[in-house]
Chains A and B, each alone.
Chain A
Amino acid sequence: MANDVLIPTPLRAYVGKQDVVQVDGETVGELLQNLTAKYSELQNHLYNEDGRLRSFVNVYLNDDDIRYLQKEDTPVAEGDTISIVPSVAGGTGSVATGLSR
């Protein structure tokens, strides 16, 4: 069973510029693992060094945030759509730039 995964704009470059990809998985976690196995460049942007989903990565099953379901153990049924939705955040503090220009 493959489900649609909606890819946000900043990650489309890593999935062949597609905004929707189809991935198999019985749970949201399994599906995301299969997604990053297929598109390995996504790994670094979805998961931190400990292998946990980054806190500013939101995953929705249809219209529901999986944090309020069973998190990555949330079962996926035929026809469900999974959305990866960025939290965009920032603020002031110590600077984090390269040797720019």
Chain B
Amino acid sequence: MNGYEKALIVSNDVATHIQNHGRETYPNECCGALIGIGNFVGECLSLPNTTEEGPRRRFLVNPHDYRAAERHATESGYTLIGFYHSHPDHPARPSQYDLAHAWPEFTYVIIAVEKGKPGAMTSWRLREDRSAFDEGHIERRNG
């Protein structure tokens, strides 16, 4: 099938955090970890964009920060669900570069930031055969 079945449930606090992070780092890309349980994201962690390829169109979470985020999730009794990043002045759709670097099982949230203003927020998962991403719904909840 195309599109994955379960909606990603995102608390309003998390959605606001991602929007603010995208606004603050504009025109560069922001990135961070999504933490929660199942398909619910209850917390997110802003992470440094450590890319050396130009942060206006690339992001990189270094292994040290990845390990810290995974450890934080585990110690909190939750799971590292995936990562978010922004697309400054680009649509909230994953690129070929995103695809080449994607991991299975993770959910990727992308927020478009147009001229510094946060816009559409979308959610994606890598297909099992790594051929493409499928989009899922995002549901926002209070909290």
Contact = CB atoms under 8 A, between A and B. Distances in A.
B127 A98 contact: yes
A99 B134 CA distance: 7
Contacts of B106: 9-10
Contacts, number: 127
Contacts of B31: 88, 90
Contacts of B93: 95, 97
A100 B132 CA distance: 10
B9 interface: no
A45 to B, nearest CB: 6
Interface string B83-95: 1010110110111
B105 A10 contact: yes
B108 interface: yes
B66 interface: yes
Contacts of A91: 29, 51, 53, 57-59, 85, 87, 95, 97-98
Q: Is the interface of A mostly helix, strand, loop or mixed?
A: mixed
A100 B94 contact: no
Interface of A: 8-14, 44-45, 56, 58, 60, 65, 83, 85-101
7 contacts: A10-B104, A86-B63, A90-B94, A94-B96, A95-B93, A97-B93, A100-B133
Interface of B: 2-3, 29, 31, 51, 53, 57-63, 66-67, 70, 73, 79-80, 83, 85, 87-88, 90-91, 93-99, 101-106, 108, 124, 127, 129-135, 137
